[in-house]
Chains A and B, each alone.
Chain A
């Protein structure tokens, strides 16, 4: 060992670098060789277990996209609430402060991860994991675009509510294990609140299920294709309203954020958390906001459907038909484009020619990117679908942020009273009216 260490120390820095790269290359080659040798077996195994592979890949991808989503929503909340408060908001890190939430994430990673004396350490550690995973797993069934979804289950909605209900377990774990009375109050509040609001939340979509005849979210979105009048919100307005309110409570957002009411019980269940464990709670909250917005869009606002039947445009240009002309185009178009876009700068301003050329090149690239995106939007189905879906979802995210900026918090008894006295009867009424309407329409031979 000492010989190896001495040799390593004698090497110069480039030598160390080359040696490291050599070792890495060797390892990779060996791995590749193993893969090649056993490729048939590996492919067979993967092919035989395709659902599992699909699930693992989907879960990983979903886990990965939650992080930028949370960053985006956190930044959006900071900025939107700041503008509502007549403040400037974040404006230091990155353009318009847009990297601030990323920096917050890094800060949270670097903070001390503190476990209070007297806390139930394993439960205390696992609570944020449960909360975060519960909200991430709900994303698995959301259809983002045609063909772009984690899993197409026929019980997707049930799965969604089951996973959403898991959050409360995590919150209770956090509240109970923190060894803090504020945490305990927060945990118990969240248990009472989430369980109460699960009922109207679930009942509010039963009417929708009667209409749709399926629990698969994909199928529901397909049912809503066409004009925006086909969206379920116009056939289930009460259901949509109840769903939105109950989902707000389910995600612990203002005005139902009693579990972490900062002016009453400090930070509720998260009082004793610090570092990345708090970060998980924090992220989970914003992932939840995204998830409930996405589900509202999926169920009631047509999912990835455009609000009107988009005219199908088939570009006559097929690159394969061009043959040698394609190569010529590839060679000529950038140069020509750069020159064309540089010309106005060169003519109209007093710039040096190279500056005009650089500007022209930049403008050409922007135009090219826009053209490619436009082409993708028109011809690739899932790009357009994803765009519409995200647009609608972020409208609802904005709604939740808006509510946070505007509304005070309700009291716990008002919260429970509202769930049991108003939302539950209203959702039952919605269910009965829908069922009756379906029976009547069937009897009249409509549909």
Chain B
């Protein structure tokens, strides 16, 4: 760079020693590394930066977003990631195949079962294992429960980000009941660590079944009651309708998947598009909406809760007998090769691409996380809207920072 003397780099340790930065100095933008940064960190007339996060109340974890504001209007924004980075992929490459499951668990901590499911499926493909049918049914049952928990949490967060206090506590009732239920099945409330290569960790037990039976008798009724809090609320609907419209082409270009894609009218659901597990045998619909705005994304998730309830019902009715674990050696050494497995999670496509070199550890493991993809849409959707809408848009895309930062 020719103009080196413009600003000291924040990465330069001497900055803090040599030069006392004045308190009126904005957070020093380090010398721009890209053109985009140079463009972003130059203020126009009447604009200001505001630093949102990583300790902001509604950035869903430790996301930091630098907003460039013109009054209340967001002109541009720059998400700063990495506050939750653990290097999960590298950790997985240094763990054996069983340990991988506990490493990927905390990725998206509100839907851990889906984070486990895709690597487990990829490893099963590498090993050519056939999973017992009962195990598959249990997996679908537990995963759909987890999907409902995740979506009802989404509903609460959405309302909280729009200033409603009550819905989050109401939705937590459902979520808590499901989480307790899964805890009695798996032993953990949040990071279940339940799926195993070739099956699941334990069979259905009495406590789980009785809790599930109790809950299923009133689930539909209660969820509809919770939804009535928001769906008929004029303020809520007016704020959400027509906000952050993601059109079909942009969504496809940005690789958006899951509810966010289906809210734009594309009926793409991996459970139907690339069937896996026992989903081909089950009868459920893929809800879609054509508006692509925040309200559509919200309502679509609520529709998905109803479909998940249908799936759970069918799983319970058709649950076969048999083992829940395939016969496998203690130490897994798959043949050299590569395998890909993608599943439909509550946020979209969770996928794993694993390469084996014949040892007991994956040679390379790539985790595809929908939150990271969806968070990129915030930059497309937000400019031109108000500060308050940033939260609404971000909440409606439903990213989880654990998955974004990996």
In the bound complex, do residue B165 and residue A263 qualify as a contact, i.e. CB atoms below 8 Å apart?
no
In the bound complex, do residue B169 and residue A263 qualify as a contact, i.e. CB atoms below 8 Å apart?
no
* A residues near B161, Cβ cutoff 8 Å: 263
| Bound: A415/B239 CA distance, A | 11
Most buried by B among A181, A264, A410: A264
List CB contacts (< 8 Å) of A349-408 with chain B: 404-408
Tell whether A81 is near chain B: CB-to-CB under 8 Å. Answer: yes
Smallest beta-carbon distance A176→chain B, Å: 14
Q: Interface readout for B365-406 with A: 1 if CB under 8 Å, 0 if not?
A: 000000000000000000000111111000000000000000
Contact partner of A407 (CB less than 8 A), chosen from B23, B50, B233, B386, is B233
| Bound: A350/B164 CA distance, A | 54
In the bound complex, do residue B50 and residue A263 qualify as a contact, i.e. CB atoms below 8 Å apart?
no
In the bound complex, do residue A85 and residue B235 qualify as a contact, i.e. CB atoms below 8 Å apart?
no
Tell whether A14 is near chain B: CB-to-CB under 8 Å. Answer: no
In the bound complex, do residue B162 and residue A185 qualify as a contact, i.e. CB atoms below 8 Å apart?
no
* B residues near A179, Cβ cutoff 8 Å: 23
* B residues near A264, Cβ cutoff 8 Å: 58, 387-388, 390-391
* B residues near A87, Cβ cutoff 8 Å: 169
Tell whether B97 is near chain A: CB-to-CB under 8 Å. Answer: no
Q: Of A19-27, A124-132, A253-261, A330-338, which stretch is located at the interface?
A: A253-261
Contact partner of A414 (CB less than 8 A), chosen from B166, B233, B238, is B238
- Cβ-closest chain B residue relative to A87: B169
Smallest beta-carbon distance B245→chain A, Å: 16
In the bound complex, do residue A408 and residue B56 qualify as a contact, i.e. CB atoms below 8 Å apart?
no
List CB contacts (< 8 Å) of B151-177 with chain A: 159-166, 169-170, 173
> Which size class do A's interface residues fall under?
20 to 34
Contact partner of A84 (CB less than 8 A), chosen from B58, B166, B233, is B166
Given contacts A408-B233, A411-B386, A412-B386, contact A263 B170 (CB under 8 A): no
| Bound: A261/B162 CA distance, A | 9
Tell whether B87 is near chain A: CB-to-CB under 8 Å. Answer: no
Smallest beta-carbon distance B335→chain A, Å: 51
Most buried by A among B24, B51, B58, B165: B165
In the bound complex, do residue A409 and residue B165 qualify as a contact, i.e. CB atoms below 8 Å apart?
no
* A residues near B390, Cβ cutoff 8 Å: 264
Smallest beta-carbon distance A252→chain B, Å: 12
Q: Interface readout for B50-72 with A: 1 if CB under 8 Å, 0 if not?
A: 11000011100000000000001
In the bound complex, do residue A85 and residue B163 qualify as a contact, i.e. CB atoms below 8 Å apart?
no
* B residues near A407, Cβ cutoff 8 Å: 163-164, 233, 235
| Bound: A104/B51 CA distance, A | 30
In the bound complex, do residue A263 and residue B58 qualify as a contact, i.e. CB atoms below 8 Å apart?
yes
Contact partner of A85 (CB less than 8 A), chosen from B51, B58, B170, is B170
Tell whether A64 is near chain B: CB-to-CB under 8 Å. Answer: no
Q: Interface readout for B228-251 with A: 1 if CB under 8 Å, 0 if not?
A: 001001011011000000000000
Q: Interface readout for A88-111 with B: 1 if CB under 8 Å, 0 if not?
A: 000000000000000000000000
In the bound complex, do residue A263 and residue B24 qualify as a contact, i.e. CB atoms below 8 Å apart?
no
* A residues near B204, Cβ cutoff 8 Å: none
- Cβ-closest chain A residue relative to B72: A412
Tell whether B212 is near chain A: CB-to-CB under 8 Å. Answer: no
Tell whether A273 is near chain B: CB-to-CB under 8 Å. Answer: no
> Which size class do B's interface residues fall under?
20 to 34
- Cβ-closest chain A residue relative to B49: A181
Q: Interface readout for A409-441 with B: 1 if CB under 8 Å, 0 if not?
A: 111111000000000000000000000000000
Tell whether A182 is near chain B: CB-to-CB under 8 Å. Answer: yes
Given contacts A86-B170, A412-B388, contact A181 B239 (CB under 8 A): no
Tell whether B339 is near chain A: CB-to-CB under 8 Å. Answer: no
Contact partner of A262 (CB less than 8 A), chosen from B50, B57, B389, is B57
In the bound complex, do residue A263 and residue B162 qualify as a contact, i.e. CB atoms below 8 Å apart?
yes
Tell whether B48 is near chain A: CB-to-CB under 8 Å. Answer: yes
* B residues near A406, Cβ cutoff 8 Å: 164, 166
Given contacts A118-B24, A182-B50, A263-B58, contact A410 B239 (CB under 8 A): yes
In the bound complex, do residue B164 and residue A117 qualify as a contact, i.e. CB atoms below 8 Å apart?
no
List CB contacts (< 8 Å) of A163-187 with chain B: 179, 181-182, 185
* B residues near A410, Cβ cutoff 8 Å: 235, 238-239
Q: Interface readout for A335-353 with B: 1 if CB under 8 Å, 0 if not?
A: 0000000000000000000
In the bound complex, do residue B56 and residue A266 qualify as a contact, i.e. CB atoms below 8 Å apart?
yes
Tell whether A265 is near chain B: CB-to-CB under 8 Å. Answer: yes
In the bound complex, do residue A405 and residue B166 qualify as a contact, i.e. CB atoms below 8 Å apart?
yes
In the bound complex, do residue A413 and residue B386 qualify as a contact, i.e. CB atoms below 8 Å apart?
yes
- Cβ-closest chain B residue relative to A255: B235
| Bound: A156/B342 CA distance, A | 71
| Bound: A189/B386 CA distance, A | 12
In the bound complex, do residue B166 and residue A263 qualify as a contact, i.e. CB atoms below 8 Å apart?
no
Most buried by B among A85, A263, A409: A263
In the bound complex, do residue A118 and residue B72 qualify as a contact, i.e. CB atoms below 8 Å apart?
no
In the bound complex, do residue A409 and residue B163 qualify as a contact, i.e. CB atoms below 8 Å apart?
yes
List CB contacts (< 8 Å) of A112-128 with chain B: 117-118
In the bound complex, do residue A85 and residue B165 qualify as a contact, i.e. CB atoms below 8 Å apart?
yes
- Cβ-closest chain B residue relative to A406: B166
- Cβ-closest chain A residue relative to B158: A408
| Bound: A254/B162 CA distance, A | 11
* B residues near A408, Cβ cutoff 8 Å: 159, 162-164, 230, 233, 235-236, 239
| Bound: A409/B167 CA distance, A | 13
| Bound: A289/B230 CA distance, A | 25
In the bound complex, do residue B165 and residue A81 qualify as a contact, i.e. CB atoms below 8 Å apart?
yes
Smallest beta-carbon distance A89→chain B, Å: 11
In the bound complex, do residue B164 and residue A185 qualify as a contact, i.e. CB atoms below 8 Å apart?
no
- Cβ-closest chain A residue relative to B169: A85
* A residues near B163, Cβ cutoff 8 Å: 254-255, 257, 261-263, 407-409
* A residues near B159, Cβ cutoff 8 Å: 408
* A residues near B58, Cβ cutoff 8 Å: 262-264
Smallest beta-carbon distance B32→chain A, Å: 22
Contact partner of A261 (CB less than 8 A), chosen from B170, B236, B388, is B388
* B residues near A182, Cβ cutoff 8 Å: 50
List CB contacts (< 8 Å) of B14-48 with chain A: 23-24, 48
| Bound: A35/B173 CA distance, A | 67
| Bound: A262/B391 CA distance, A | 11
| Bound: A406/B169 CA distance, A | 12
Q: Interface readout for A281-319 with B: 1 if CB under 8 Å, 0 if not?
A: 000000000000000000000000000000000000000
Most buried by A among B24, B58, B235, B389: B235
Smallest beta-carbon distance B293→chain A, Å: 14
In the bound complex, do residue B235 and residue A263 qualify as a contact, i.e. CB atoms below 8 Å apart?
no
| Bound: A411/B74 CA distance, A | 14
List CB contacts (< 8 Å) of B66-98 with chain A: 72
* A residues near B160, Cβ cutoff 8 Å: 263
Residues of chain A having any CB pair with chain B under 8 Å? 81, 84-87, 117-118, 179, 181-182, 185, 189, 254-255, 257-258, 261-266, 404-414
A–B complex contacts, Cβ < 8 Å, 19 sampled: A81-B166, A86-B169, A117-B23, A182-B50, A262-B163, A264-B58, A405-B166, A406-B166, A407-B164, A407-B233, A408-B162, A408-B236, A409-B164, A409-B388, A410-B238, A411-B388, A411-B389, A412-B72, A412-B386
Residues of chain B having any CB pair with chain A under 8 Å? 23-24, 48-51, 56-58, 72, 159-166, 169-170, 173, 230, 233, 235-236, 238-239, 386-391
Q: 15 extra interchain contacts, Cβ-Cβ under 8 A, other than A85-B169, A118-B23?
A: A81-B166, A86-B169, A263-B58, A263-B162, A264-B387, A265-B387, A266-B56, A407-B163, A407-B235, A408-B163, A408-B236, A408-B239, A409-B162, A411-B386, A414-B238
